Copies of this chain bind each other. A is one copy, B any other.
Amino acid sequence: MQISDTEENYIKAIFALQMQEQGEVSTNRLSGHLLNRAASVTDMLKRLSEKKLIHYEKYKGVSLSAKGYRLAVNIVRKHRLWEVFLKEKLHFKWDEVHDIAEQLEHIQSEELVSRLDKYLGYPKFDPHGDPIPDKDGLMQKNQAIALARVDRKGNYRIARVTDHSRPFLNYITELGLKIGDLVRVEEVNAYDASCKLKTADGQTIFLSQKAGTNILVEQRR
């Protein structure tokens, strides 16, 4: 069956929103996410339903079918593998890779994906710390929590960012933080959830709650 880039983007959007919170995804939420009008979304939902990629009932919201889920995971897999390629092989910065991967994720070739995966050494995470599904759609669950929610001082590893926007990525890059860095959390303010970190090279960094929410960390023993 033929699936267009546009259809793939809808499927990916439904997947992303379903990850964000359980249950059916509403027309309006998709409309907001894709920057299309609700009427256009309804239109497309009918077509995706026709193709058995989603479960759709009028006024009841939408969820991925098994087939739609497999498709979504494969697109995410391609997107993240290409991001690794762009970062590790072509030396793009981590704030530059997303937009290009947004195009590359739609290239159709099983063989290409599988060779790219091998070429990159079967990476488990992309440049933002997001897990990369393997060829069977399985991905590492990382148990990272937001810095702003850390409740015990101590040593942590920066595992993932949840905001992929340029301004955010540039900001934390300028602070000298990146995925994999070890930091000591010295304080998470009980009132406003801002926090104070010490980096491996001795620098002290202050982060707002807003920034802290988008940086996920794993505890080090």
A112 within 8 A of B: yes
Partner of A108 from the list B96, B103, B116, B119 (CB cut-off 8 Å) is B103
Tell me the complex Cα distance, A99–B108, Å. 10
CB-defined contacts of A119 to chain B, threshold 8 Å:
89-90
> Which chain B residue lies CB-closest to A119?
B90
Interface size class of A (residues with CB under 8 A): 10 to 19
CA distance A50 to B96 in the complex (A): 33
Quick one: copies of this chain in the complex? 2
In the bound complex, do residue A115 and residue B103 qualify as a contact, i.e. CB atoms below 8 Å apart?
no
Q: Give the CA-CA distance A1 to B164 in the complex, in Å.
A: 27
Instruction: Give the residues from 94 to 144 in chain A that come closer than 8 angstroms, CB to CB, to chain B.
Output: 96, 99-100, 103-104, 107-109, 111-112, 115-116, 119
Contact B104–A90 (Cβ < 8 Å): no
- Report how far A119 CA is from B92 CA in the complex, Å: 12
A99 — which chain B residues lie within 8 A by C-beta? Answer: 109
In angstroms, Cα B108 to Cα A116, docked, is 20
A70 at the interface (CB under 8 A from B): no
Contact status B116-A90, CB under 8 Å: yes
Whether the Cβ atoms of A115 and B90 lie closer than 8 Å is yes
- Tell me the minimal C-beta distance from A154 to chain B in angstroms: 40
Name A's B-contacting residues (CB within 8 A).
86, 89-92, 96, 99-100, 103-104, 107-109, 111-112, 115-116, 119
Q: Could you list some 7 contacts between A and B, CB below 8 A?
A: A90-B115, A90-B116, A90-B119, A91-B115, A92-B115, A100-B107, A100-B109
